[in-house]
């Protein structure tokens, strides 16, 4: 189908960058450009309050739902039937200033520029920030948008317990962001999210825009490996039941599986804890996580099964007990081809170099894709560094991406599906 193209607006790049930098002062990590604003923490609260203030300053209707998702709309009807954008403002423990924040503040900038231009919108515009996208403090990641689309009940969300022993519901009450708006939320007309790539592909290729076709499936598993703690000097190798030996071999196996499968498959052991963690003691148990991702669901399932099989074999050989628990599991997502085509076409019109690509990271957009036509725009991450205070995207790319977001959102206000 052909999509009608309306006029667009010129966004104010300096205002965008100023807002990004001001928000980054909250939870700033000393001596770096990074941020630490874990979901529902005091820093998250302070960040939320700042962004809500900006939303209200534009005269937008701001709603807060039962899991803390915040939506600002040009219509008093909120997100219903709106062309929506957004992302998240929580960060990992040692994160950057662009991950998530760019998408939210770019959306705010597009709305401010549109309102200033006095454009008569055929549909409202809305910008959201969803709760706990990172999942660093409470599993699963993308919690807020998952609840927004009805994929997880409010009750289940509020009961989630974090690694630090706190509970989502209590923390949400504590920071005052358990709101009255209904969850699941209203269905938008369309959803487009601008995000930094968080990977090296665009930067290495010297391209401006990633036209995102879909999101990799994500599988998070926690293993508890229990062996026999003992003196490191006196137990012959062949008589050991060493859970760290199994953990190491499983880590190597996960990597091997990813390399053997190839394609978009990745595997990461990002968290691992030994007990009692002493130089001269064979550990009693090891807790570890494995993060597997693939754009292809069948391949991802193969990787999961293969790793489970190898883990069982390795543990059996060492006499170590395995307890396995799924922390998060999302199938790969394909974005709406009409939205994807629209983004690509508008980027080309602006003379921007583009690449169609999958997202290696999970994003709120993949949840919104369950309820409305959805797409994503990527801008480059220098050296692919993200989830790290050294995360960086050039100002020019932030501005180019935000302008393309404006073009896309305004075009979508004129589209009927």
**Of 23, 50, 48, 18, which is closest to residue 34 (Cα–Cα)?**
23
Question: Closest separation between CB of residue 63 and a copy of itself, Å?
Answer: 29
Quote the least distance from Cβ 274 to a copy of itself, whole Å: 6
Among positions 349-368, residues that touch a copy of itself (CB under 8 A) are 359-362
Per-residue binder mask for a copy of itself (CB under 8 A), 314-333, x = binder: -------------x------
Question: Least distance in Å: CB of 416 to a copy of itself?
Answer: 34
Instruction: Tell me the window of 153-161, 164-172, 385-393, 396-404 that interacts with a copy of itself (CB under 8 A).
Output: 385-393
Q: Among residues 6, 49, 52, 93, which is the contact residue for a copy of itself, using CB under 8 A?
A: 93
Please tell me the distance from the alpha carbon of residue 140 to that of residue 136, in angstroms, as a whole number: 8
Q: Which of residues 217-276 bind a copy of itself (CB under 8 A)?
A: 218, 220, 222, 228-237, 239, 242, 244-245, 247-249, 251-252, 255, 258-259, 265-274, 276
**In this complex, which beta carbon is closest to a copy of itself, that of residue 197 or of residue 397?**
197
- 186 vs 215, beta carbon nearer a copy of itself: 215
Whichever of 110 and 209 has its CB closer to a copy of itself, that residue is 209
Please state the closest distance from residue 244 (CB atom) to a copy of itself, in A. Answer: 5
Q: Which is nearer to a copy of itself, 117 or 317 (CB)?
A: 317
User: Ramachandran region of residue 88, left (φ > 0), alpha (ψ -120 to 50) or beta?
Assistant: beta
Strands, E assignment, 70-216: 70-73, 83-87, 125-129, 190-196, 209-215
Encoded one letter per residue, x for contact with a copy of itself by CB under 8 A and - for no contact, window 98-137 reads ------------------------------------xxx-
Integer Cα distance of 366 and 376 in angstroms: 9
DSSP, residue by residue, 92-120: -TTB-SSTTHHHHHHHHHHHHHHHHHT--
> Which positions from 387 through 416 interact with a copy of itself, judged by CB under 8 A?
387-388
* One character per residue 175-214, x = contact with a copy of itself (rule: CB under 8 A): ----------------------xxxx--------------
- Shorter beta-carbon distance to a copy of itself: residue 92 or 158: 92
Measured from the CB atom, is 74 or 287 closer to a copy of itself? 287
Tell me the sheet residues that pair with 274. 286
Burial label for 277, CB within 10 Å (0-12, 13-18, 19+), is exposed
- Nearest CA to 86 out of 409, 346, 417 is that of 409
In this structure, how many other beta carbons lie within 10 angstroms of the beta carbon of residue 381? 26
Among 32, 75, 153, 289, the residue binding a copy of itself under the rule CB under 8 A is 289
- CA 71 remoteness from chain centre: 17
Q: How far apart (Å, rounded) are the C-alpha atoms in residues 290 and 272?
A: 9
Q: Which of 292, 301, 279 is nearest to 250 (CA)?
A: 292
Looking at beta carbons only, is 6 or 93 nearer to a copy of itself? 93
59 vs 231, beta carbon nearer a copy of itself: 231
Burial string for 239-271 (b: 16+ CB within 10 Å, else e) reads ebbbbbbbbbbbbebbeebbeebeebbbbebee
The secondary element (H helix, E strand) that includes residue 360 is none
Which of the stretches 76-84, 90-98, 106-114, 364-372 binds a copy of itself when contact is defined by CB under 8 A?
90-98
DSSP 8-class letter at 359: E
Q: Of 19 and 363, which CB lies nearer to a copy of itself in the complex structure?
A: 363
**Calpha distance 341→120 (Å, rounded):** 25
Q: How far is the CB of 78 from a copy of itself (least distance, A)?
A: 31
The residue count for binding a copy of itself (CB under 8 A) is 71
């Amino acid at each position: 189908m052909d999509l009608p193209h309306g006029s667009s607006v010129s966004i104010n790049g300096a205002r965008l960058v100023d807002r990004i930098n001001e928000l980054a002062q909250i939870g700033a990590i000393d001596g770096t450009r990074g941020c630490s604003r874990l979901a529902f923490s005091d820093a998250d609260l302070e960040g939320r309050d700042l962004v809500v203030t900006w939303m209200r300053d534009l005269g937008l209707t701001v709603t807060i739902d039962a899991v803390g998702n915040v939506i600002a709309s040009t219509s008093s009807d909120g997100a219903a039937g709106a062309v929506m954008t957004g992302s998240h403002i929580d960060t990992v423990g040692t994160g950057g200033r662009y991950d998530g924040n760019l998408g939210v503040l770019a959306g705010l900038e597009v709305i401010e520029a549109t309102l200033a231009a006095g454009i008569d919108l055929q549909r409202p515009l809305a910008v959201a920030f969803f709760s706990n996208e990172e999942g660093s403090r409470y599993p699963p990641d993308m919690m807020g948008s998952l609840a927004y689309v009805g994929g997880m009940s409010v009750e289940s969300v509020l009961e989630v317990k974090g690694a630090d022993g706190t509970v989502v519901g209590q923390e949400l009450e504590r920071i005052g962001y358990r709101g009255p708006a209904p969850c699941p939320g209203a269905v938008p007309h369309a959803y487009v999210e601008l995000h930094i790539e968080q990977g090296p592909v665009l930067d290495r290729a010297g391209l401006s825009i990633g036209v995102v076709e879909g999101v990799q499936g994500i599988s998070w598993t926690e293993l508890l490996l229990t062996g026999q703690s003992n003196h490191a000097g006196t137990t012959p190798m062949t008589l050991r039941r060493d859970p760290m030996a199994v953990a190491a071999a499983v880590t190597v196996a996960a990597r091997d599986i990813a390399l053997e499968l190839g394609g978009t498959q990745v595997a990461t052991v990002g968290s691992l804890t030994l007990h009692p963690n002493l130089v001269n003691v064979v550990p009693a148990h090891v807790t570890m996580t494995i993060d597997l991702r693939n754009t292809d669901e069948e391949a991802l399932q193969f990787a999961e099964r293969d790793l489970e099989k190898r883990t069982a074999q390795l543990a059996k050989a060492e006499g170590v007990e395995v307890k396995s628990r799924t922390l998060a599991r999302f199938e790969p997502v394909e974005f709406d081809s009409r939205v994807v085509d629209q983004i690509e076409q508008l980027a080309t019109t602006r003379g921007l170099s583009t690449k169609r690509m999958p997202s290696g990271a999970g994003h709120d957009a993949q949840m919104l894709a369950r309820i409305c036509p959805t797409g994503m725009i990527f801008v480059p991450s220098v050296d692919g560094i993200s989830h790290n205070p050294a995360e960086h995207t050039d100002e020019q790319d932030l501005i180019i991406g935000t302008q393309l977001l404006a073009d896309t959102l305004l075009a979508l206000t004129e589209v009927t599906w």
